[in-house]
Amino acid sequence: MEMPAELYPPRCRACSGRIHGRDAEYFCAGCWQHIQLITHPLCHLCGRPFPDASGDDHTCGVCLSRAPQFVAARAWACYPRDEIEEHPLRQVVQKFKYGRRVSLGKPLGRLMARGCQEFLGACPVDLIIPVPLHPKRLRWRGFNQSVLLARQISHAYKIPMDPFVLRRDHETAPQTQLAEDERRKNVRGAFTLNPDRSVDGKNILLVDDVYTSGATVNECSRILKRNGSKQVFVVTLARAVS
Ligand SMILES: [Zn+2]
Ligand SMILES: [Zn+2]
């Protein structure tokens, strides 16, 4: 028997526990306190948050040694890269992608659109492009999580979104176990521009779920710029920080 939705108590998107009170949206208080929103100071290029809360934004060591192809990247919140699976933000991302919980796209996309308001409001963007999945992985998962996130940003900021601009032609090994250098090599040449689309002279916002080394969005940015894009900005839901 179908139950009307309002009979279901709101559940935490990470741990599935009850949400009490009115202030916690999407997460229970226990999970919410572990979700570390990204605040200043940060690297003004890649958006890496700096642990010392007193300083100003500046360029991080990674960006100094290798300038990214994009203008700037920002994320909504971060989780520790080498930590336990139980971190609520990692947990919710895993549920979304590997647990194929399509229904998480809307709340997570909204959190991202709202949380990155300062950044998104300042980016002169003509077109939103989600990072594509390889067709094989897309078939297996049934949806591209980045498209669902990008859709919410598109709605919130009234900017068109096109998931068919970039194509992922090569199936790449999962990035998770790879070192920074290997990640770059792994995604090199993985993306191409759809010959039916043009990005010439356009300012692009790339959307992905997680920013780890930045190798994927950097490679996408390279392809976009090589095909005439003016500026590329990046926004992700989460950032894995070491
Ligand atoms: Zn929870
Ligand atoms: Zn940086």
The residues whose Cβ lies within 5 A of ligand 2, an ion, are 43, 45-46, 48, 60, 63
Residue 150 has pLDDT above 70, yes or no: yes
151 CA from centroid of ligand 2 (Å): 26
Task: For residues 166 and 130, give the distance between their C-alpha atoms in angstroms, rounded to a whole number.
Answer: 8
101 CA from centroid of ligand 1 (Å): 16
Q: What is the pLDDT of residue 181?
A: 82
Burial class (CB in 10 A: 0-12, 13-18, 19+), 13: buried
Say what the pTM is: 0.93
Structural domains of the chain ordered from first start:
1-33 (no CATH), 37-241 (3.40.50.2020)
pLDDT tens digit sequence for 203-237: 999 999 999 999 999 999 999 999 999 999 999 99
67 CA from centroid of ligand 2 (Å): 8
Q: Which residue has the higher pLDDT, 54 or 59?
A: 59
